[in-house]
Amino acid sequence: MTPEAPLDIEACVREPIYNPGTIQPHGTLLVLDPSTFRVVQRARNQVEFLGCDDLLDQELDGSPGLGSLLVERLRAWRTADEPVLLTSILHQHRRLQVAANRTAQGILVEIEASEEGHPTEAFYSRMGHVLDILGSASDIPGAGAIATRELRHLTGFDRALLYRFDRAWNGTVIAEDGNGRLPSYMGLRFPAGDFPPQARALYKKSRLRLISDKDHIPVPIEPLLSPLDGKPLDLGATTLRSVSPIDLEYMRNMGTAASMSTAILLDGELWGFLVCHHTEPRHLGTSLRAACDLLGQLIAQRIGAIERMAQRGDRLARQRLKGALLKGISREGGFETGLVRHGDIWLRLARAEGASLVTQENVYSVGRTPPSSVTQRLAILLQQRGVKDLLATEQLSSFAPEFEPHADTAAGMLALPISQLHASYLIWYRPEVIQTVRWARAAAKPRTAGERLTSRASFAQWTELVRLRSEVWSQVDIEAVGSLRSSIVDFVLKRAEERAALTS
Q: In the window 173-192, what residues touch ligand BLA (CB under 6 A)?
A: 173, 185, 190
Between 185 and 425, CB nearer to ligand BLA: 185
Q: Which of 158, 194, 213, 336 binds ligand BLA (CB under 6 A)?
A: 194
3-state secondary structure of 321: helix
Q: In the window 445-464, what residues touch ligand BLA (CB under 6 A)?
A: 453, 455
- Taking only Cα atoms into account, the Rg of the chain, rounded to an integer number of angstroms, comes to 29
Binding mask 264-303 for ligand BLA (x = CB under 6 A): ---------x-x----------------------------
Check binding of 209 to ligand BLA (CB under 6 A). yes
Between 135 and 183, CB nearer to ligand BLA: 183
Residue among 321, 354, 490, 481 at smallest CA distance from 415: 481
- Is the CB of residue 162 less than 8 Å from the CB of residue 302? no
Distances in Å between the Cα of 125 and the Cα atoms of 132, 167, 192, 287 are 11, 38, 38, 16
What does the DSSP assignment read for 429-453? EE----EEEEES-GGGSPPPTT--B
- Is the CB of residue 299 less than 8 Å from the CB of residue 274? yes
Establish how many alpha carbons lie within 13 A of residue 36's alpha carbon, considering only the half-sphere containing its beta carbon.
8
Between 188 and 325, CB nearer to ligand BLA: 188
The backbone torsions φ and ψ at residue 406, rounded to the nearest 5 degrees and listed phi first, read: -105, 15
Quick one: CA torsion of 442, 443, 449, 452, rounded to 10 degrees? 110
Between 244 and 409, CB nearer to ligand BLA: 244
Q: Which of 25, 27, 67, 171 binds ligand BLA (CB under 6 A)?
A: 171
Check binding of 15 to ligand BLA (CB under 6 A). yes
Report the 10 Å Cβ neighbour count for 460: 10
- Residue 223 preceded by cis peptide, ω within 30: yes
Q: Which of 9, 56, 89, 433 binds ligand BLA (CB under 6 A)?
A: 9
Check binding of 12 to ligand BLA (CB under 6 A). yes
Between 187 and 371, CB nearer to ligand BLA: 187
Which amino acid is present at 112? Answer: E
Q: Which of 130, 151, 161, 444 binds ligand BLA (CB under 6 A)?
A: 161
Number of residues that bind ligand BLA (CB under 6 A): 29
Stretch that binds ligand BLA, among 11-19, 103-111, 112-120, 405-413 (CB under 6 A): 11-19
Q: Which of 193, 296, 412, 417 binds ligand BLA (CB under 6 A)?
A: 193
Check binding of 199 to ligand BLA (CB under 6 A). yes
Name the residue with the smallest CB distance to ligand BLA.
Answer: 12
Q: In the window 236-255, what residues touch ligand BLA (CB under 6 A)?
A: 243-244, 246-247, 250
Between 174 and 484, CB nearer to ligand BLA: 174
3-state secondary structure of 342: coil
Check binding of 259 to ligand BLA (CB under 6 A). yes
The backbone torsions φ and ψ at residue 263, rounded to the nearest 5 degrees and listed phi first, read: -75, 135
The backbone torsions φ and ψ at residue 273, rounded to the nearest 5 degrees and listed phi first, read: -140, 145
- Is the CB of residue 33 less than 8 Å from the CB of residue 17? no
Between 74 and 264, CB nearer to ligand BLA: 264
Q: How far is the CB of 191 from ligand BLA (least distance, A)?
A: 8
Between 387 and 453, CB nearer to ligand BLA: 453
Between 171 and 417, CB nearer to ligand BLA: 171
Q: How far is the CB of 15 from ligand BLA (least distance, A)?
A: 5
Check binding of 23 to ligand BLA (CB under 6 A). no
Maximum separation of any 2 CA atoms in the chain, in Å: 98
3-state secondary structure of 318: helix
Q: How far is the CB of 179 from ligand BLA (least distance, A)?
A: 16
Report the 10 Å Cβ neighbour count for 138: 10
Check binding of 7 to ligand BLA (CB under 6 A). yes
- Residue 474 to residue 101: CA distance in whole angstroms: 40
- For 489, the enclosing helix (H) or strand (E) is helix 485-503
Q: How far is the CB of 273 from ligand BLA (least distance, A)?
A: 5
- For 133, the enclosing helix (H) or strand (E) is helix 121-136
- Is the CB of residue 238 less than 8 Å from the CB of residue 261? no
Cα–Cα–Cα angle for 367, 370, 374, nearest 5°? 140
Q: How far is the CB of 9 from ligand BLA (least distance, A)?
A: 5
Between 254 and 345, CB nearer to ligand BLA: 254
Interface positions with ligand BLA (CB under 6 A)? 7, 9, 12, 15, 17, 161, 163, 171, 173, 185, 190, 193-196, 199, 209, 211, 243-244, 246-247, 250, 259, 261, 273, 275, 453, 455
